[in-house]
Structure formats: C-alpha cells, structure tokens
Amino acid sequence: MALSRLWRPALFAALFTRLNLADAPLPLKLGELPAQVAAYLTFASPTGLRHYLKMQYQDQTFKGLYHWNLFDAAVLLPYFAVMIVLALYGVHRYTMCYLYFKYRKNYDPNPPRHFEELPRITVQLPIFNEQFVIDRLIEAVCAMEYPREKLEIQVLDDSTDETCEVASSIVARYAALGHPIAYIHRTNRHGYKAGALDAGLNVAKGEYVAIFDADFVPPIDWLMKVIHHFAQPEIGMVQTRWSHLNRNYSMLTQIEAILLDGHFILEHGARARTGDFFNFNGTAGMWRIQAIVDGGGWQHDTLTEDTDLSYRSQLAGWKFKYLPDVECPSELPIEMTAFKTQQARWAKGLIQTSIKVLPRVFRSDVPRRIKIEAVYHLTANLSYPLMVIMSAALIPAMICRFYQGWFQMLIIDVPLFTASTFSIAVFYVMSERELFPNNWKKTFLYLPFLMALGIGLTVTNTKAVMEALFGIKSAFVRTPKYRVAKKGEKSQAAKYRKRLVLAPWIELFLGAYFFAAILYTFSNQNYFTAPFLILFVIGYWYTGLMSLLQGRFERWRTGTAANTDESSPKPFPVGV
C-alpha cells in the first residue's frame, strides 16, 4: 500500500528507534545525518532533487574504491593551478576595494596652491579618419575657458579620407575667428598616434600639453580645473575621469560603462591614493612636457604608448595625480566588434608594456609594494589564456570529480569561486555605489551579463595576449566613431564599420561546447554547476552572434559592402 509523503520520514524514524540504532553511526551518510533527514533521503524517488542529495551526501557505496591516477592528475593539477592563479587576481580586486576606502582621506580635489600667472598650454587633438566627430571635438576645445594668448591648439591629422578636407576647413574657420588653432597633417603615419603626438611636441609652444581623442567632448572649464594642480613642481601628469555620452544607448554600452567605472573609480582611485604607479589613459589628461621628455618621449613599440610612457615617467621620479571629480564625456563603442577589438588591443598593449617596463621596475629602487602592484596591473590580461585552459579542462575535470563529496567542494571550490568570480561582482558593485549612491542597486541586473561578456572576450583577447608574448607586431588601427548618443539614433559612420572573420565562429563553437557541458551536468544530476556554465554559454553566444549580425541588417538594406579587415583600435582599460 502506497504511503503518503508525510508518513515516510515518520515510519523510518520509528523503525530506526525500534531497532536501537540511535547510537550507531549510519554507514552511508554525510557526517551525522539526523534520523528524519536520513529517512527523507532514503525514501526519495529515483529522480529529482531529493535523489540527487541522496546520491551526493548519503550513498557512499563506492567510497574507498577510487584511487588517484596519472590521467586525473594530468587534468586536475593544471585545472586547479589555473584556478589558483585566477583566484590571486580576484584577491587583488578585493585589495583594490580595501585600499580605496582605507586611504580615501588622501584625496583632495583642490590644488594645494595656484599659479600666480597662468602658464602656456598646448592642446593636442590626434585624429585619423574622424570626419563625423571632428567638428564636435574642435567646437568643444575652442569653447574652453583659457586666455587665448596662453593657449595653442594642434589638430594632428593622419587621415587618409575626406576627414582631411573636413578638418582643415573647420580649423580655418575657427582660426579666422581668432582661435589659436593649427592644422598639422602627416602622410606617412610613422609611429601612429604616438608618432603624431611626438611630431606635435616638436613644434609645441606650451609648457604643458592636454590630449583629447576625437570621441571626447571636454567641458568648458576643464583646463582651469586641471592646470593649477601643476603648481606642485613634482606633478608630471594629471588624469581626469571619463564619463559617457551614450551610456544608456544599449545593454552593451551599459556594461562598457560599468567596466570603465570600475577602472576609473576603484583602480585609479586606490593606486593614486596609496602612491602606487598608475597610467595616463591616452586622453582626457594633461602632461608637463618635461615629464614626457624625462620619461624618454613618446615611443611606438607597444600598442599602449600611454601606459608605457606613464611607467617610464614615474620611474624617472615624476608624480601623477588623479582627479575623479573632473569629468570628460566620451563616446562608447556601440557595436560588439569595435568593443572586442578595443579590448584586444588593450590586452596586447599591456602585455607588451609589461615585457618592456617590468624589468626596469624590478631594477629600480621603488618600494616593493609598487613593484607588486605593477605586476598585477600590467599582467592582468594573462587571465584570458588561463581561462582558455580552464575552459578546455572543465568537462574532463567534472568527469574526474564526479564522485567527489560535499567536503571537497566546500574546502576547494567555494574558496576559489569566492576569490575569482565573486570578486568581480563585489568590485563593480562597489564602484557603482561610489559613483551613483542613489541608484547603484540596478547594477545587480547587469552583473550576470557583465561576467558573461568578460568570458566572451576570451577568444580575441587570448589571441592578442599570445601575439604579445611571442613578439608578433600589429598596426595601430582606429576605433570607429559613430556619433551616436541616444537610443534610436542611427550611425553616420557605417563606412568605418569592420567585422571579425574567424573569431565569432570560434565563440559560437565554444558556446555549443559549454551547452553540451550543461547537458552532461543534468544527466549526472550535478545541478549546482549549471548556473556557472550558463554564463559561458551566454557569453560566447552573445559575443559571437552580435559580431556576426551587428550591422548586417543595415548593410542588406543599403547594399553597402562589409569591411572584412580585422580592426585593432585604441584601448580603454577594464581592470581585469
């Protein structure tokens, strides 16, 4: 006769007591399971959550039969070695959060002294094929408050398309209005952006140089807020915080903005407040020209000439200052391919810079803590090839660990997960809370997609990191500027759109691989692993499909051909 679910635990408990087994250990149980819990699991149906819990935590029929072997060692040792390294970078994120708040009193937004007489400033605007945004940039720079007799504006144009005519005519118009602006055009692009900046410095008249990329719109009071911090003679560079014109354009731009906020709030904030080295971000900053000279000048043997010069200048003794309260609006990439190739260039450039400058850092007499932080800063993108190794070993490791118990998971997997993955959530939630104290909670809605997107970048960023490690050089290619700020606006720069050829298909394959892994976990009732694997599926399929489909509908409608060159544009930092 069938027994109701309610009577099953009671019946087993009665039998258990009747047989005087209360003091005897249950042979097949997790620690000391209470009698009613053991009964609950014993009468579990052969499917469902109760059966899974029974198989995992009560039934130990095969306990003692498994023995360590060479195959398992070959799979699990690299897997856990990678997890430990990723956990170390995760612990560093927690450290950044701790240092930011511990030393928050070290930040003073006001300059300790002011210039009695304003110094001469050169503003450099490096551009390359930016015809749709150059007018916005020049208009904003010419509107900035600063005595004209103390100001020089250089438009450094390496363009090869209609931008030359557009930029030169705009410069001529503003020059006729009395603005101190000059147009400098190069035809050989030697050294790319670094070469253009260096060429401009050769004829610059200022003691200080401010740099703005084409997709930035500096506020009218930016120069006056920054220049007086150089009244301290030891200050060589001042960096300001990026804000975003098109933050709310799409899910992608929201995630990009959160990634950048983490870098500019917590990473820059913590390093600046503790006196560690941090980097000029290539734009929205001002240099003392002597600090550039003492650092060895602009060099183009890495794809991140800004970070390279930053470390060389700080090793020469100059101090940097970061002003998070001074914003400079910018435009975020609205298409997946532009975002992925930005990140790839950033990843490759940082590894190139680490190979170049870390030996100098180690040989210098700077404190050990600065050396350690430099290693974390410049090598963080090694996590991408490590994630490839972890991904390849994940399913074999799941098979090897099929019979593991709860205790192994508690002492191994949970700490590693907390250090590596959970640290990402803590890092970006804290940065958004610091920046938006009134509506930071909505960040939780973006966190799964943010982590999934980080996973989706693995293919292109791993390729970039390996190229850097093996010394493979690549050209500096611009980021397409679409001049899109609001939802529903259409891009004016479709001709600059580029797409990756092979990477999206690899990402789709990896997504299918992890989808198969999810099916495997369900077939073995390993439900707790599935949510983690879902992030991999979403990340790879999202980046792959968006790379393949973004812009195609517009091309089909207009009949324009796609640009199949793989772009490798300027970087922006994400702090991973």
| Residues identified as active-site | 158, 306
How many CB atoms are closer than 10 A to CB 217?
20
Q: In the sheet where 235-244 sits, what is the strand order?
A: 181-185, 151-157, 121-127, 208-211, 285-288, 235-244, 319-330
Integer Cα distance of 458 and 539 in angstroms: 9
How many CB atoms are closer than 10 A to CB 563?
17
Q: Which of 278, 538, 574 is nearest to 427 (CA)?
A: 574
Coil, helix or strand for 530? helix
Q: Which residues pair with 153 in a beta bridge?
A: 123, 181
Q: Which of 128, 508, 567 is nearest to 341 (CA)?
A: 567
Contacts of 367 (CB under 8 A, 6+ apart): none
Would you state the structure tokens that stand for residue 226, as one six-digit string? 């920054």
**CA separation, residue 353 to residues 305, 431, 457, 513 (Å):** 8, 26, 20, 34
Cβ 242 vs Cβ 328: under 8 Å: yes
Integer Cα distance of 37 and 12 in angstroms: 10
**CA separation, residue 159 to residues 167, 235, 302, 420 (Å):** 10, 33, 21, 43
Integer Cα distance of 259 and 253 in angstroms: 10
Integer Cα distance of 398 and 420 in angstroms: 19
Integer Cα distance of 186 and 188 in angstroms: 6
Q: Which of 93, 78, 71 is nearest to 390 (CA)?
A: 78
User: What angle is formed at CA 281 by the lines to CA 277 and CA 285, rounded to 5 degrees?
Assistant: 95
Cβ 242 vs Cβ 326: under 8 Å: no
Cβ 194 vs Cβ 296: under 8 Å: no
